[in-house]
Amino acid sequence: MSIENKIKKQTISLEDGDKILNKDKDYVKELNELETEFRILKQLIDLRLKRKVTQIQLANIINIKQSNIARLESGEILPSFKSLRRYASGLNCNLDIKLIQSNNKDKCTFP
């Protein structure tokens, strides 16, 4: 029985659903690939909320539509480097991107 059928046939707790999904190698791989994106989005939202700035206010500051801020924060669209820099600038911050050595040494090499 597929994971989808197991989930559809019964009501399960979030914890149990997570256990079922974490047995699916494709799901785990995709989740790991999205981890960085989720972390960046959380940082953007947390920073905006810490500064007590609404989406509308930020949109006005950086001269874009509020709906674009909402789409970016929801993960509906992937922001460009330029968009991230504008977002940070609108909140009086600088953007700092760095490469971090991964557990798999083949992924990131240093001279």
pTM of the predicted protein model? 0.64
Confidence of residue 49 (pLDDT cuts 50, 70, 90): very high
pLDDT tens digits along 56-98: 999 999 999 999 999 999 989 888 999 999 999 999 999 888 8
Answer whether 78's CB lies under 8 Å from 69's CB.
no
Structural domains of the chain, ranges and CATH numbers in brackets: 11-90 (1.10.260)
Burial of 33 from C-beta contacts in 10 A (0-12 / 13-18 / 19+): exposed
Answer whether 42's CB lies under 8 Å from 74's CB.
no
